[in-house]
Structures are given as C-alpha cells and as structure tokens.
Amino acid sequence: MKDVFIVLREQFTNLGMIVRVSRYDDKATYQSHYLGLIWQILNPIIQVGVYYLIFGMGLYGGREVEGVPFIAWMMLGLTCWFYMSATMLGTSQSIYRQLYLVSKMNFPVSTLPSVNIVSNLTSFWAMLAVTMLTIFSLGLPVSVRWFQVIYFFFCMIVFMFALGIFSATMTVLIRDYHMVLQSVIRLLLYLSGAVWNIRTTALPPKVNAILQLDPVFYVIDGFRKSLFNGSWFWQHPVDMAIFWLITLLLLFIGCHLHIKFRARFVDLA
C-alpha cells in the first residue's frame, strides 16, 4: 500500500508537468506533417470507415445492434478502443524509451506512463465529439444516464494507469513483455466487443461469460449503456466488483514492482 501512495503522490505533485509534456509530445509527433494534429482525428475516422464496411455492411448487413444503429454502436466502441489500445502500447514503452534521458536528471520516472495517458486524450475527445455528432444526427434519445459516462471515463483512466505502470515496469524488466502485449492487444480488438456484439455470439456460454469479465469490455460496454439508454452501473455489482478487483490488483503489483526496481532500471534495460 505504501508503494501505491508513493506513486500516486508523484502523479498529483507533478500533474502540471505531465500536462505540459503531453502537449509537447503531441506537437512534436505531428510537427513535420502538413495537417498536423488533424491526423489525430483523420486516422481513427479512416479506420472506423474500414471497420464499418467490413462489419457494418458485411457481417451485420446494416442491421441494428441492441436497438441502436450499428454505425453509432460501433463508433462509440472504437472510440474507447482506439484510446485504450494506443495507451496500452504507449505506456508499456514509456519508461524504456526515455530511461537514459531521465536517468541523468531528477525526474519522477513514474509519471512517464501518465504523460502518454494524457497525450492520447486529445484524439479520444476528438473521436468522442464525432461520435456524439453521429448519435445526434441519427436522432437517438438523450437520457439522464448520459451522466454516468463520467464514471466509466474515470474507470478507463484508472485502469489505463494501473496497467500502464505495470506494463512500463515489466517492459524494462522483461523486454519480451511488450511483444506479447502487442499480440494480446490485436486479439483484444475482437474479444473486447468493440466491433461485434459478444452477447449474441455462438460461443459456449462459459466462454461468453469469461469474455465479459475483461476490464476493456466493461469500459466499452459501460459507455454504450450510458449513451444508448442501457442500465445504471450499480445495477451490475458483480461486474463492477470484478473490474475494480482486477484494476486494483494491477495497481498494487505495478506500483510495488516499480518502486522495488526503479533504482536499477538503467542496469536492467
């Protein structure tokens, strides 16, 4: 528990620096492109179009999913997925890539995953805005449940940080970890329910139930329940408890490993 407090204190103490560095990273990434930061919106939109042609027009044939037009249902899922997948990959290498630079100065290494988490939010907000415009254009009803998006956004950020501090540390300790994570993320696109409805698959009931325990699925499904007139999050206490159990377990293990080994990161890398 002490390790968790140390790491969290470093995040809040250096929050201003995290935001400034994340903005600098955004500008540095796209400074040589004519369209600049616009690519943060264009890239996801192009991918959404490809997935819609494959799954919307192909697999679903333009049908609705859970009473919602497929394009809106899929766009919301992919908005969350693009953010989480990019953050999972980015945070896993955030310390390893900057290690030799930050080792020469008094820099809180634990903030590097947070920098990536904040940096990717620019693209997330842009895609969410496009998705909301699509929802409004389709005439979908507005509900008071929309407010619980705040809860699921908080869930997403906390899970990204817990997994990020764990992955960033593991990548320094075991270089093969990042390669394994890349493969898992490719698979998660289809197992997280981002582009197809897990609940209506022909998979065995036990397999289907296990897939729904995935924290990524919990977040994506939560955003959909919030904006598409689903249920309240407290109506599913078991799912909520499992999500927070997995998230807190990752946070405890990740912070413990980080504090234990960070003095030796340069030697281990």
pLDDT tens profile 89-127: 999 998 888 777 666 667 788 899 999 999 889 888 888
CA distances from 39 to 47, 105, 119 (A): 12, 33, 14
In a domain, 97, yes or no: yes
Q: List the helix and strand counts (H, then E) for the chain.
A: 12, 2
Which residue type does 151 have?
Answer: Y
pLDDT, one tens digit per residue, over 32-84 is: 555 555 666 766 666 666 666 656 555 555 677 777 888 888 888 889 998 99
Structural domain contains residue 1: no
Q: Which residues contact 163 (CB under 8 A, 6 or more apart)?
A: 88, 91, 250, 254
Place of tokens 């037009």: 69
Q: Residue 132's pLDDT is what?
A: 87
pTM of the model: 0.88
Give the domain range for residue 204.
32-268
Q: Please give the angle made by the CA atoms of 18, 157 and 68, to the nearest 5 degrees.
A: 135
Q: Is residue 143 part of a domain?
A: yes
Quick one: pLDDT at residue 24?
75
Domain-located, residue 12 = no
Residues 6+ apart with CB under 8 A from 108: 10, 13, 14
Contact by Cβ (8 Å): 257, 2: no
Longest dimension (CA), the chain: 58
Query: Which amino acid type is present at position 64?
Result: E
Question: What residues contact residue 196 under an 8 Å CB cut-off, 6+ apart?
Answer: 55, 59, 190
Please compute the mean of the pLDDT values over residues 256-267 and round it to a whole number: 82
- H or E stretch at 68: strand 68-69
The stretch 137-159 carries a mean pLDDT of 90
* Residue 21 maps to a domain: no
Residue 221's pLDDT is 92
CB atoms within 10 A of CB 190: 12
CA distance 246 to 254: 12
Q: Which of 258, 260, 268, 269 is nearest to 109 (CA)?
A: 258
CA distance 6 to 21: 21
Helix residue ranges, H only, 53-192: 70-102, 112-119, 121-137, 149-173, 176-191
Residue 10 is assigned to a structural domain of this protein: no
- Examine residue 67 and state whether it is found in any structural domain, yes or no: yes
pLDDT of residue 27: 64
| 172 close to 256: Cβ distance less than 8 angstroms | no
DSSP letter for each residue of 123-142? HHHHHHHHHHHHHHHTTPPP
Q: How many domains are there within the chain? A: 1
Q: Is the pLDDT of residue 183 over 70?
A: yes
Q: Band of the pLDDT at 6, cuts 50, 70, 90? A: very high
